[in-house]
Every structure is written in C-alpha cells, then in structure tokens.
C-alpha cells in the first residue's frame, strides 16, 4: 500500500511533465515560420496583420487604417495598412506605414535590397525585397497610387521635424 502511495504521485508528476513538454512543443510548432519561408496556404486574399523584417528587428502588428476626413488613421503602437490599397498577394500597391519610433519603423531607413520583408496576411506569408528607397514631401501622394504589378510600399516619417516621408518600394520574391 505504501508503495502505491509513492508511485501514484510520481505517476502524476511524470504525466504533468509530459503534458507540459507537449504544450511547449505545440507552441513552438505554431510559431511563425522563419524569415526565409514564404507560405501560401490559401488562394483567398486577406488583410495584412503582421510585418516582419528580421534583419532590422521589425516585428509588429498591422491593422487596417480607415480613411478619416481624407487621411488614413495612424496608430501609436502598430503599423497601418491603408484601406483601399491592394491586399498582399494581389496585383496593385499594398501600402503599410508606421511612425518612426522605437518598436515601429525607427530603422526602416537601414533596409537594404538583400533583406527580406515578410507580410503575414491571414494564413499566408508573402516575402518581398526592396527595389527602391527614397524621400518625398508629405503631400506627395503618388507613392500610394495603384500599380500594374504586385507592389508593397512602406513609408514612415523622415527629415528634421518629420518634414519628409521615407518610402520603400518592394516587389514579391
């Protein structure tokens, strides 16, 4: 009887440890694929919900930015996807923007053509690489116009007192 009392708690400890390991393995499997993986699970197009540029430590949520009084809303804690711009994986210009501050697009200007940009869109992950980087005035809206091919446009503030916009144009790889 004494042996059964000792074995029973030991059995539950082993069971708990096993379940804990299984839980951690499940979480690891559910984590986002590595930056070099492009995963297209569905032909259906979704609004972008996350942007990741591993080389710049950019890994932030994306939320639909509605047009309010003629301007896209801008968020303090996440990137915005411009309502009315293209969906990732579609022909046209998908526009994503964020403040130039820590935790957002503070180092977007350091992006180089060899760095991969991941856009998570529902179950799909689209990979892009920069083809052009330049600055424009805040009133220059040509950067968000529709395109004839699949394009990703990222932008953030630049220049002294945010007098410019840093624009990154990327194409799917």
The backbone torsions φ and ψ at residue 6, rounded to the nearest 5 degrees and listed phi first, read: -80, -40
Chain segment 87-135, per-residue pLDDT in tens: 999 999 999 999 999 999 999 999 999 999 999 999 999 999 999 999 9
Distance CA 132, CA 12 (A): 59
Q: What is the pLDDT of residue 41?
A: 83
Q: What is the pLDDT of residue 166?
A: 97
Chain segment 56-100, per-residue pLDDT in tens: 999 999 999 999 999 999 999 999 999 999 999 999 999 999 999
Distance CA 75, CA 154 (A): 15
Chain segment 7-24, per-residue pLDDT in tens: 444 444 343 443 333 333
Cα distances from 60 to residues 9, 141, 146, 162, in angstroms, run 44, 24, 24, 21
Buried b / exposed e over 92-115, threshold 16 CB at 10 Å, is: ebbbbbbbbeeebbbebeebeeeb
Q: What is the pLDDT of residue 128?
A: 97
Biggest CA-to-CA distance, the chain: 83
**148: number of CA atoms within 13 Å, CB side?**
0
């Amino acid at each position: 009887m004494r042996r059964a009392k000792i074995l029973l708690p030991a059995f539950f400890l082993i069971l708990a440890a096993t379940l804990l390991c299984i839980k951690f393995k499940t979480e690891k499997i559910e984590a986002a694929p590595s930056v070099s993986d492009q995963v297209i699970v569905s032909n259906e197009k979704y609004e972008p919900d996350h942007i990741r540029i591993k080389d710049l430590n950019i890994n932030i949520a994306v939320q639909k930015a509605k047009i309010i009084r003629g301007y896209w809303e801008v968020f303090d804690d996440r990137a915005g996807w411009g309502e009315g711009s293209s969906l990732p994986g579609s022909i046209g210009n998908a526009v994503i923007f964020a403040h130039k501050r820590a935790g957002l697009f503070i180092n977007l200007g350091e992006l180089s053509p060899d760095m991969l940009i991941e856009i998570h869109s529902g179950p799909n992950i689209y990979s892009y690489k920069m083809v052009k980087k330049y600055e424009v005035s805040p009133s220059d809206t040509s950067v968000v116009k529709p395109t004839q091919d699949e394009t990703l446009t990222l932008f953030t503030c630049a220049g002294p007192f945010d007098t410019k916009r840093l624009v990154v144009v990327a194409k799917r790889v």
